[in-house]
Structure 1
Amino acid sequence: MTNYCIYDCSFCVSRRSNDVQRAAFSVKEVVDLTMNFYRRNYIEGLFLSSGIFKSADYTMERLMLVVKKLRTEERFNGYIHLKAIPGASESLLKQAGLYVDRMSVNLEIPTEEGLKLVAPEKDHQSVREPLAIIKNEILNVQQHKRLLKNFRSLSPQAKVHRWSLGPHRRQTYRLCRPRMNSTKIISSSAFTIQVTSP
């Protein structure tokens, strides 16, 4: 979104002390530019990053607004990869994560000592926090997908019953046999019986 930055990292062309021409796009300008290129088939997706101006939250909020507008107002169906801003609030990271295909965080330098040499205003903790949030959200989504997977396969005309057969296998089978007159066994193993009924 911008090459303005409050940090002075020696490896970055957008560092505060670098004498380069600065530019910044508004949320609307990024959305319009992206949609213009997308409609013309110049692009299939968007990689969105930014220098950090004013604060991490201010920058992350603008990035979040771009991806939210693209998805909800413009119906952009292309791929979106968003660079999360270290130090941004958890709520902004989670909101942005709702609209992107991938979110990542720049580690910059692998060691804390090395980071202090080239980016003295940054620390690894500010990077670890968004990484942990992203990881937890991915795990939550995977867990919910597993829970919802069975519901998606159900049709309104059929019910699926699944019984786990433990040490009382014969008793469980006797309990479900009366229901099996009008059911079809769709899978069975030594430990489970899954049936459908109309």
Structure 2
Amino acid sequence: MSFAVFQGILDGTLLIFLAVLLAYVRVVRGQLRRLTREKTASSGVREETGEGMALFRESREALEKTIREMDALSREAAGRTDRLKLLLHDAQQWLEDLERREKGPTSDPASGTPPPEQKPSASGQSSGPHRPSRSEPRTDIEKVLYLMEQGKTVPEIAQSMGRGEGEIELMLGLSRLSDSRSGPGR
């Protein structure tokens, strides 16, 4: 399910909820008006009118509270939508990065970037490109995989890297996706 579909569903749900709330307000308001008219038109007892007004005030306060809660939920949903957009963008970037790394260090004609040059070692001889050992993870995904191999849990990894658990799980999922795309021959 794409993010746009998810966002559309969320927006539609909020609109339906607001429409139901508006209908509820109109019904309650109409009933209160009718109740007020009936009570004042009858014997005109002020106590009943006072009770009706108290009921009206209570209903109004409850309605205002509900509206404030709806506004807060709407702002929270918008914030979550923005965070999801950022996470989706990051996931796409990580996936593109994984695909580029999977292809190897060949030059990329689209971006015009040449392959990394070999730097001479301390002795002056070129020893080939430096490739970190398994104990030197280069990317966040490699760090996550390394920590998982060390027996760490997702919450422990998230805390040690200063990331959310959802991000760690996303990185693990992207890694599994990349592994499944590369096939068993790799």
Q: Compute the TM-score of the two structures, normalised by the length of structure 2.
A: 0.25
Structure with higher RCO (Cα < 8 A, 6+ apart): 1
Higher fraction of helix: 2
Which of these two proteins has the greater Rg computed from alpha carbons? 2
TM-score, normalization by structure 1: 0.23
Relative to total residues, which structure has the larger strand share, 1 or 2?
A: 1
